[in-house]
Amino acid sequence: MTRDNLRKRHIIKPLDCVFCSEHETKSHLFFECVVAKNVWPFIADHFKIQIGTDFESVARFWVSNKKNSALNMVSSAVLWCLWKYRNSIIFNNTIWTSISQVWRLILRTLKFWVILAPKSGSARL
């Protein structure tokens, strides 16, 4: 993760999750953290699918010959925004107040990304 690389350069940042203060790993940030655990069920419900708690459960839809293009765009936005918001807290001293901040970032990102979606997928977004 980013902070591990900073430690190698003698820039010390804690290795705890900025959202929940548990030990941060890639799996924790994207799937096990309380923030991620609140986002993924909503996405799964919207698309009427099951998403597990790992990268493989999300990636299995990425190899589906564009059949799940809207889902893939949304899942990419979720992963991207969790990462971006985490980095904003760490490096820009953004203050964490609620999950609605992450949702706003996800929705704003999708608003800009929707032009990349095929017409059939943009309706689902």
Name the residue ranges covered by the structural domains of the chain.
27-122
- How high is the pLDDT of residue 52? 75
- More confident call, 39 vs 9: 39
SS3 51: coil
SS3 66: coil
Confidence of residue 5 (pLDDT cuts 50, 70, 90): low
Burial of 18 (0-12, 13-18, 19+ CB in 10 A): buried
> What DSSP designation does 115 have?
G
pTM equals 0.83
Average pLDDT rounded to a whole number, residues 103-116 = 92
DSSP H or E run through 18: none
- How high is the pLDDT of residue 11? 64
